[in-house]
Structure 1
Amino acid sequence: MKNYILLFVSVLTLSFNSCTTMKDTAKTDDLYNTTWELEYISGPRIAFEGLYPDKKPYIKFDKEKSEVYGNAGCNGYSAPFTLKGNSLTFGEQGPATLMFCEGGGEQTFLQIIKKIDSYSINKDGKLNLNMKDIPMMRFKKVTK
């Protein structure tokens, strides 16, 4: 009888672990094949619309290349990223266009993204890029 109880508990534990793993994979898959548009950035005392008067930054994650690319508000943006569980870091930015940008939003974006150490996707499907578990940037899904 003890063997049956032990077997039952083992099977139950494995099934819970597999469900958790499937949730994590689904959450990670939500990161890819999506264009994420910035809707909030922490830090600056300038209104969000003042930082990005013409174009809001957006990013896309390329799983195969482990690279993120998009626009930092004015110029193109690309950088390698490292993802392990919820831990997320960005490497040095690659070559970018050199357009003149107003508002200072691009520099704010580039400074903050270097400090990111994790991510989360909330119940509303918004991507939070965090520094020490504090959301520094929030993105929404858009079609581009």
Structure 2
Amino acid sequence: MKKIYFLILVVLFWLYGCKTASPAHPETETDTILDAYWMLLSLEGQSPQAPNNTRTAYLRLEEKENDVKGFSGCNHFFGKYTLSGSSLRFSDLGSTRMMCPNMDQETKFMEVLGRVESYSIAGSILTFYQGQEAIATFKTGNPEDLQQEERSGKVRVKKL
């Protein structure tokens, strides 16, 4: 009987040693938000109304220097970001100074970036929040591909 208990004990220890090890570098949301292009889908609940022959606004958070770079509808912008967990803040934002016929969306986009406090990711959708309110929504992708689709009339932006 003692041999059976001993064998059961040995088997249990052996099974315990066979558990799967956790990955050395688990992927986090931070890994997916960085070094990707994020195209603007909505701004304060409204679909962006880009005039004809203009490009879609986008941004990119670059991991190496904590730089944010992007295009706001008329001008290119740049600045810094601070990321900690789901907290996100933009600072030192600046842009080129081209004038375009309708600057309302660009002005609103830059103002919204200054109010971002946190973010969440659901699949390929990135949402920026101020408090509990969603203030901007983006979709990941390649800006050049999106521009080609827009010219061919194939892009449809749905309200989230």
User: TM-score, length-normalised on structure 1?
Assistant: 0.74
Instruction: Output aligned runs, 1:38-77, within 5 Å.
Output: 38-42=40-44, 48-49=48-49, 52-53=50-51, 54-77=54-77
Deviation at 1:41, TM superposition (A): 0.4
1:131 matched residue in structure 2:
130
Instruction: Output aligned runs, 1:74-113, within 5 Å.
Output: 74-94=74-94, 96-101=95-100, 102-113=102-113
Percent of paired sites with the same residue = 27
3-state DSSP class of the match of 1:99? coil
Paired residue total: 120
Question: Which runs of structure 1 show a deviation greater than 3 angstroms over 4 or more consecutive aligned residues?
Answer: none
- Structure 1 gap ranges (5+): 1-14
3-state DSSP class of the match of 2:115? coil
Higher helix share: 1
**Structure-2 change in CA distance of 1:43 and 1:126 (3 Å):** closer
- Structure 2 gap ranges (5+): 1-19, 144-160
Deviation at 1:134, TM superposition (A): 1.7
- What CA distance in whole angstroms lies between the structure 1 residues aligned with 2:114 and 2:45? 14
User: TM-score, length-normalised on structure 2?
Assistant: 0.67
- Letter aligned with residue 34 of structure 1: A
